[in-house]
Amino acid sequence: MADVAVIGAQWGDEGKGKIVDWLSARADVVVRFQGGHNAGHTLVIGETVYKLSLLPSGVVRENCVGIIGSGVVVDPIALLAEIERIAKQGVSVTPDNLMIAENATLILPVHQELDALREGAASGVKIGTTKRGIGPAYEDRAGRRALRVADLADPESLPEKVENLLTHHNALRRGYGADDVDAADLLRMLSEVAPKIAPFARATWRELDAMRAAGKRILFEGAQGVLLDVDHGTYPYVTSSNTVAGHAAAGAGVGPSAIGYVLGIVKAYTTRVGEGPFPTELEDETGRRLGERGHEFGTVTGRQRRCGWFDAALVRQSLKISGVDGIALTKLDVLDGFEELKVCTGYSINGKEFDYLPAGAHNQAAAEPVYETMDGWSGSTEKARSWADLPAEAVKYVRRIEEIIETPIALVSTSPERDDVILMKDPFQG
């Protein structure tokens, strides 16, 4: 049996929630290894819809343990609110089924306020962040002034650490014309959440080592997508963490050999939230039709996603960077009824042909997609569970994508329902 890492291979919103939930039926442990509560997963189980942000998808399943790894930045207030919200849906989250890495970084109100100040400034690059403090928290971690989950259990040292943090933040706030943060207010908030968060804190690397030794099946759950990776994405319009599969080990606290199979989640068309380059974006009726059929609104923000044709060149690039073994193709049913479909196979940039998207922002902005046109289909793919259930043109579309991205398809999702899946390869079988 292989432990599995799941990543998004586009700009996020690929349908990871359903796939992770489907896989968690075969897993004993689900680990979030990066990101924060800016990433959302929607799970549809029967007639119940769960919207998760920080919580690993496994918490909605009995006999499955969720772990928030050290690579995640944790907003304690948002986490407690999420636990309370899904408790109203009948899901009990306790220290028995949720662990938080004691060395995970905390997101504080000061981080969210800095995010908003930057996005609202008259000058500078507008990234289109969710203003949830993710970036500033990662900055403080890199600057070695962040507060971590373990600090909540050490109230005697907190005042000094808070003062050190605010020395930096208050200087930044003055530059934006904002008032200083009062240390006493921040300490008061921390003292209120500490006893509620502390029971979940563990040395999760030890827990994971013991689980692996016991033969437990572990699922490593990524947030967002490879094209938002801080190193390998469409910089600077990216998130503040590494979203590639290689970070699953570091963000969880295991060795690279623990990742036995990497599954990339790929939507059958392309979407993006926020600013940044998007070569295949359709700002016309076709784009609106994709958005309406696919219900393309962010789980966390509710923002409408930009929509476009499938970009095989970018997906191929993502899969190579992350060493993906197989892909899960989602939302194929959204393409039902289109007379023709287009797939981007490369780009024309200032008269030169590229089979990948170069790193320079000027090249990315100038990239014109090179399309291959394929026949659409009039039949329905919705709820298909075998190849025989698909129209011939849909099979051709899927197989052609597989050829261009140079990676085998492990499964195809044909509706939001958990069991509407065409399975070619069980990732846990390696």
Cite the active site residues.
13, 41
Task: Read off the tokens for 90.
Answer: 């009948």
Q: Are strands 368-375 and 306-308 parallel, antiparallel or unpaired?
A: unpaired
What single-letter amino acid sits at 253?
G
Distance in angstroms (rounded) separating the CA atoms of residues 405 and 400: 9
DSSP designation for 407: S
Q: What is the biggest distance separating any 2 CA atoms in the chain, rounded to whole angstroms? A: 67
Do 424 and 410 meet the contact criterion of CB atoms below 8 Å apart? yes
In one letter, which amino acid is 273? V
- Rounded CA-CA distance 12/298 in Å is 10
CA distance 209 to 213: 6
**Torsion from C-alpha of 207, 80, 228, 308, nearest 10 degrees:** 130
Ranges of H-type helices in 101-182: 109-120, 134-142, 158-175
Residue-wise over 350-387: b if at least 16 C-beta within 10 A, else e?
eeeeeeebeeeeebbeebebbeeebebbeeebeebeee
**Residues facing residue 281 across a β-bridge:** 308
**231 Cβ neighbours under 8 A, 6+ residues apart:** 242, 244
Radius of gyration of the chain (CA): 22
Cα separation, 426 vs 394, whole angstroms: 22
How many residues does the structure list for the chain?
Answer: 430
Give yes or no for a contact between 223 and 234, defined as CB atoms under 8 angstroms apart: no
Measured CA angle at 212 (ends 265, 321), to 5 deg: 30
Answer whether 375's CB lies under 8 Å from 340's CB.
yes
Alpha helices in 177-274, H assignment, sequence order: 183-197, 204-213, 247-252
